[in-house]
Amino acid sequence: MRKKLLLGNWKMNKTISETKEFAKSIDTLVELAKEKDIDIGVAPVYLSLQTLKELVPETFIVSAQNCHFKDSGAYTGEISIPMLKEIGIDWCIIGHSERRTYDNETSEKCNLKIVKLLENNFVPVYCVGETLEQFENNKTMDVVKDQIEKGFLNISKEDASKIVVAYEPVWSIGTGKNASKEIAENVCAFIRSLLVDLYDKETAEKVRILYGGSVKPNNIKEYMKMDDIDGALVGGASLSVESYKELIQNI
Protein backbone atom coordinates (compact mmCIF):
# COMPACT_ATOMS: atom_id res chain seq x y z
CA MET A 1 0.00 0.00 0.00
CA ARG A 2 1.55 3.29 -1.09
CA LYS A 3 1.28 6.12 1.43
CA LYS A 4 -0.31 9.26 0.00
CA LEU A 5 1.95 12.28 -0.41
CA LEU A 6 1.13 15.99 -0.56
CA LEU A 7 4.04 18.17 -1.62
CA GLY A 8 3.78 21.95 -1.99
CA ASN A 9 5.94 23.61 -4.63
CA TRP A 10 6.39 27.19 -3.53
CA LYS A 11 8.31 28.18 -6.67
CA MET A 12 9.81 31.70 -6.35
CA ASN A 13 7.48 32.71 -3.52
CA LYS A 14 7.95 33.58 0.15
CA THR A 15 10.85 35.38 1.76
CA ILE A 16 12.60 33.82 4.76
CA SER A 17 10.35 35.76 7.15
CA GLU A 18 7.21 34.66 5.27
CA THR A 19 8.48 31.09 5.44
CA LYS A 20 8.95 31.44 9.23
CA GLU A 21 5.39 32.71 9.50
CA PHE A 22 4.07 29.62 7.67
CA ALA A 23 6.23 27.37 9.86
CA LYS A 24 4.35 28.55 12.98
CA SER A 25 1.38 26.42 11.85
CA ILE A 26 3.29 23.37 10.71
CA ASP A 27 2.67 21.39 13.92
CA THR A 28 -1.07 21.60 13.27
CA LEU A 29 -0.57 20.48 9.67
CA VAL A 30 1.65 17.59 10.78
CA GLU A 31 -0.96 16.51 13.34
CA LEU A 32 -3.68 16.50 10.68
CA ALA A 33 -1.45 14.58 8.26
CA LYS A 34 -0.76 11.99 10.96
CA GLU A 35 -4.49 11.48 11.47
CA LYS A 36 -4.94 10.98 7.74
CA ASP A 37 -1.81 8.82 7.51
CA ILE A 38 -0.26 10.84 4.70
CA ASP A 39 3.18 12.37 4.07
CA ILE A 40 3.31 16.13 3.69
CA GLY A 41 5.94 18.76 2.95
CA VAL A 42 6.92 21.78 0.89
CA ALA A 43 9.69 22.88 -1.45
CA PRO A 44 10.66 26.47 -0.62
CA VAL A 45 13.34 28.56 -2.38
CA TYR A 46 16.97 27.61 -1.67
CA LEU A 47 17.40 30.58 0.70
CA SER A 48 14.70 29.31 3.06
CA LEU A 49 15.63 25.63 3.13
CA GLN A 50 17.88 25.72 6.18
CA THR A 51 15.57 27.95 8.20
CA LEU A 52 12.54 25.80 7.45
CA LYS A 53 14.39 22.54 8.09
CA GLU A 54 15.38 23.80 11.53
CA LEU A 55 11.80 24.75 12.39
CA VAL A 56 9.88 21.65 11.40
CA PRO A 57 9.54 18.13 12.84
CA GLU A 58 11.44 15.32 11.12
CA THR A 59 8.24 13.97 9.53
CA PHE A 60 7.60 17.19 7.58
CA ILE A 61 9.37 16.97 4.20
CA VAL A 62 11.49 19.95 3.21
CA SER A 63 12.46 19.59 -0.44
CA ALA A 64 14.70 21.58 -2.79
CA GLN A 65 13.20 22.69 -6.10
CA ASN A 66 16.32 21.87 -8.12
CA CYS A 67 20.01 21.00 -7.83
CA HIS A 68 23.11 20.65 -10.00
CA PHE A 69 24.49 17.20 -10.82
CA LYS A 70 28.12 18.20 -10.16
CA ASP A 71 29.42 18.34 -6.58
CA SER A 72 31.22 21.67 -7.09
CA GLY A 73 32.87 23.76 -9.77
CA ALA A 74 32.46 26.70 -12.12
CA TYR A 75 28.65 26.73 -12.33
CA THR A 76 27.65 30.24 -11.36
CA GLY A 77 24.34 30.47 -9.55
CA GLU A 78 23.98 26.74 -9.00
CA ILE A 79 23.60 24.65 -5.81
CA SER A 80 25.02 21.14 -5.46
CA ILE A 81 23.67 18.03 -3.76
CA PRO A 82 26.39 17.94 -1.01
CA MET A 83 25.44 21.55 -0.17
CA LEU A 84 21.81 20.52 0.29
CA LYS A 85 22.82 17.42 2.22
CA GLU A 86 24.90 19.48 4.66
CA ILE A 87 21.79 21.35 5.78
CA GLY A 88 19.75 18.15 6.17
CA ILE A 89 17.83 18.21 2.91
CA ASP A 90 17.14 14.85 1.27
CA TRP A 91 14.31 15.53 -1.17
CA CYS A 92 14.57 17.40 -4.48
CA ILE A 93 12.14 18.21 -7.30
CA ILE A 94 13.65 17.56 -10.73
CA GLY A 95 12.47 18.57 -14.20
CA HIS A 96 9.59 20.84 -13.21
CA SER A 97 8.02 22.12 -16.43
CA GLU A 98 8.93 25.70 -15.55
CA ARG A 99 12.59 24.62 -15.47
CA ARG A 100 12.15 22.65 -18.67
CA THR A 101 10.63 25.73 -20.33
CA TYR A 102 12.77 28.56 -18.96
CA ASP A 103 16.06 26.82 -18.11
CA ASN A 104 16.50 24.28 -20.87
CA GLU A 105 16.15 21.38 -18.46
CA THR A 106 16.15 18.28 -20.68
CA SER A 107 15.25 14.75 -19.62
CA GLU A 108 18.91 13.78 -20.17
CA LYS A 109 19.99 16.48 -17.71
CA CYS A 110 17.26 15.40 -15.28
CA ASN A 111 18.65 11.86 -15.45
CA LEU A 112 22.14 13.03 -14.45
CA LYS A 113 20.59 14.77 -11.46
CA ILE A 114 18.39 11.81 -10.49
CA VAL A 115 21.37 9.41 -10.60
CA LYS A 116 23.39 11.74 -8.35
CA LEU A 117 20.51 12.32 -5.95
CA LEU A 118 20.00 8.59 -5.50
CA GLU A 119 23.72 8.07 -4.89
CA ASN A 120 23.31 10.57 -2.05
CA ASN A 121 20.18 8.93 -0.61
CA PHE A 122 17.84 11.72 -1.70
CA VAL A 123 14.27 11.21 -2.87
CA PRO A 124 13.97 12.72 -6.36
CA VAL A 125 10.54 14.00 -7.37
CA TYR A 126 10.71 13.68 -11.14
CA CYS A 127 8.20 15.83 -13.06
CA VAL A 128 6.89 14.85 -16.46
CA GLY A 129 4.07 16.15 -18.62
CA GLU A 130 3.04 17.40 -22.02
CA THR A 131 2.43 20.92 -23.35
CA LEU A 132 -0.99 22.09 -24.56
CA GLU A 133 0.07 21.65 -28.18
CA GLN A 134 1.26 18.10 -27.52
CA PHE A 135 -1.97 17.36 -25.64
CA GLU A 136 -4.10 18.68 -28.50
CA ASN A 137 -2.12 16.59 -31.00
CA ASN A 138 -2.59 13.40 -28.95
CA LYS A 139 1.10 13.23 -28.17
CA THR A 140 0.77 12.92 -24.39
CA MET A 141 1.76 9.26 -24.12
CA ASP A 142 4.72 9.65 -26.54
CA VAL A 143 6.05 12.65 -24.63
CA VAL A 144 5.63 11.04 -21.21
CA LYS A 145 7.17 7.75 -22.41
CA ASP A 146 10.23 9.60 -23.68
CA GLN A 147 10.56 11.59 -20.43
CA ILE A 148 10.22 8.48 -18.27
CA GLU A 149 12.63 6.35 -20.31
CA LYS A 150 15.28 9.08 -20.37
CA GLY A 151 14.79 10.05 -16.74
CA PHE A 152 15.13 6.47 -15.46
CA LEU A 153 18.17 5.59 -17.59
CA ASN A 154 20.92 3.70 -15.70
CA ILE A 155 18.82 3.50 -12.54
CA SER A 156 18.64 0.15 -10.77
CA LYS A 157 15.39 -1.52 -9.82
CA GLU A 158 16.06 -0.85 -6.15
CA ASP A 159 16.71 2.85 -6.72
CA ALA A 160 13.80 3.25 -9.13
CA SER A 161 11.34 2.35 -6.41
CA LYS A 162 12.56 5.32 -4.32
CA ILE A 163 11.73 7.90 -7.01
CA VAL A 164 8.49 9.86 -6.83
CA VAL A 165 7.06 10.71 -10.25
CA ALA A 166 4.82 13.76 -10.70
CA TYR A 167 2.60 13.86 -13.76
CA GLU A 168 1.96 17.53 -14.43
CA PRO A 169 0.37 18.47 -17.73
CA VAL A 170 1.97 21.81 -18.58
CA TRP A 171 -1.39 23.23 -19.70
CA SER A 172 -2.81 22.74 -16.23
CA ILE A 173 -0.04 24.28 -14.13
CA GLY A 174 -1.03 27.61 -12.63
CA THR A 175 -3.82 27.99 -15.20
CA GLY A 176 -6.80 26.88 -13.12
CA LYS A 177 -7.50 24.30 -15.87
CA ASN A 178 -6.96 21.06 -13.99
CA ALA A 179 -6.92 17.80 -15.92
CA SER A 180 -9.98 15.64 -15.29
CA LYS A 181 -9.48 12.78 -12.87
CA GLU A 182 -9.89 10.37 -15.80
CA ILE A 183 -7.12 12.03 -17.84
CA ALA A 184 -4.84 12.18 -14.81
CA GLU A 185 -5.49 8.54 -13.87
CA ASN A 186 -5.02 7.38 -17.44
CA VAL A 187 -1.57 8.96 -17.70
CA CYS A 188 -0.51 7.92 -14.18
CA ALA A 189 -1.54 4.32 -14.95
CA PHE A 190 0.40 4.55 -18.21
CA ILE A 191 3.49 5.73 -16.28
CA ARG A 192 3.14 2.74 -13.97
CA SER A 193 2.89 0.42 -16.98
CA LEU A 194 6.09 1.95 -18.39
CA LEU A 195 7.81 1.17 -15.09
CA VAL A 196 6.57 -2.42 -15.31
CA ASP A 197 8.19 -2.62 -18.77
CA LEU A 198 11.44 -0.98 -17.59
CA TYR A 199 11.64 -2.97 -14.33
CA ASP A 200 8.86 -5.26 -13.10
CA LYS A 201 5.41 -5.13 -11.48
CA GLU A 202 6.76 -5.23 -7.95
CA THR A 203 8.99 -2.19 -8.53
CA ALA A 204 6.27 -0.26 -10.40
CA GLU A 205 3.83 -0.88 -7.54
CA LYS A 206 6.22 0.76 -5.08
CA VAL A 207 6.66 4.03 -7.01
CA ARG A 208 4.50 6.91 -5.83
CA ILE A 209 2.98 8.81 -8.74
CA LEU A 210 1.51 12.24 -8.04
CA TYR A 211 -0.80 14.41 -10.11
CA GLY A 212 -0.02 18.13 -10.29
CA GLY A 213 -1.77 21.01 -12.06
CA SER A 214 -4.25 23.40 -10.47
CA VAL A 215 -4.99 21.04 -7.58
CA LYS A 216 -7.14 22.93 -5.07
CA PRO A 217 -8.93 22.02 -1.83
CA ASN A 218 -12.17 21.59 -3.80
CA ASN A 219 -10.82 19.12 -6.35
CA ILE A 220 -8.08 17.15 -4.55
CA LYS A 221 -10.46 14.44 -3.33
CA GLU A 222 -11.43 13.24 -6.79
CA TYR A 223 -7.80 12.56 -7.73
CA MET A 224 -7.02 10.73 -4.51
CA LYS A 225 -9.75 8.18 -5.24
CA MET A 226 -7.97 7.01 -8.38
CA ASP A 227 -5.97 3.77 -8.26
CA ASP A 228 -2.69 5.06 -9.70
CA ILE A 229 -2.64 8.55 -8.17
CA ASP A 230 -0.72 8.52 -4.91
CA GLY A 231 -0.86 12.18 -4.02
CA ALA A 232 -0.43 15.67 -5.39
CA LEU A 233 2.23 18.23 -6.23
CA VAL A 234 0.57 21.54 -5.52
CA GLY A 235 1.71 25.06 -6.39
CA GLY A 236 -0.62 27.99 -5.66
CA ALA A 237 -2.87 26.20 -3.17
CA SER A 238 0.08 25.22 -0.96
CA LEU A 239 1.09 28.79 -0.19
CA SER A 240 -1.36 29.64 2.54
CA VAL A 241 -1.70 27.66 5.75
CA GLU A 242 -5.50 27.71 5.47
CA SER A 243 -5.54 26.26 2.00
CA TYR A 244 -2.80 23.71 2.81
CA LYS A 245 -4.87 22.60 5.78
CA GLU A 246 -7.95 22.19 3.58
CA LEU A 247 -5.92 20.14 1.09
CA ILE A 248 -4.99 17.71 3.85
CA GLN A 249 -8.53 17.62 5.22
CA ASN A 250 -9.97 16.87 1.79
CA ILE A 251 -7.56 14.05 0.89
Least Å from the CB of residue 234 to ligand PEP: 5
Identify which of residues 9 and 111 has a Cβ nearer to ligand PEP in the complex.
Answer: 9
Question: Which CB, 173 or 187, lies closer to ligand PEP?
Answer: 173
- Residues 123 and 164 sit within 8 Å (Cβ to Cβ): yes
Number of residues lying near ligand PEP (CB under 6 A): 14
- Binding residues among 211-230 for ligand PEP as defined by CB under 6 A: 212-215
Query: What CA–CA distance (Å, rounded) separates 199 from 202?
Result: 8
Q: CB of 184 within 8 A of CB of 223?
A: yes
Q: Is 125 in the site for ligand PEP (CB under 6 A)?
A: no
Q: Restricting to residues 132-191, which ones interact with ligand PEP according to CB under 6 A?
A: 168, 173-174
Task: Kindly indicate which of the ranges 52-60, 77-85, 115-123, 233-241 contains the residues binding ligand PEP, using the contact rule CB under 6 A.
Answer: 233-241
**Dihedral (C-alpha) 73, 120, 87, 55: value to the nearest 10 degrees?**
150
Report the distance separating Cα 35 and Cα 221, nearest Å: 16
Cβ nearer to ligand PEP, comparing 124 with 213: 213
CA–CA distance, 92 with 43 (Å, rounded to integer)? 8
Write out the catalytic residue numbers: 96, 168
Buried residues in 178-189 as b, exposed as e (16+ CB within 10 A): bbebebbbbbbe
Shortest Cβ distance from residue 210 to ligand PEP (Å)?
A: 9
User: What gap in Å lies between CA 80 and CA 249, rounded to an integer?
Assistant: 35
Q: If we measure between CA atoms, which residue out of 27, 21, 34 comes closest to residue 56?
A: 27
**Least Å distance between CB 42 and ligand PEP?**
11
CA–CA separation, 175 and 86 (whole Å):
36
Report the residue number, 11 or 109, with the smaller CB distance to ligand PEP. Answer: 11
Q: Which stretch binds ligand PEP (CB under 6 A): 25-33, 78-86, 188-196, 210-218?
A: 210-218
Strands (E), the chain: 5-9, 39-43, 61-62, 91-94, 123-128, 164-167, 208-212, 231-234
Between 73 and 176, name the residue whose CB sits nearer to ligand PEP: 176
| Site track for ligand PEP across 91-120, x = CB under 6 A | ------------------------------
Contacts to ligand PEP by CB under 6 A: 9, 11, 168, 173-174, 212-215, 233-237
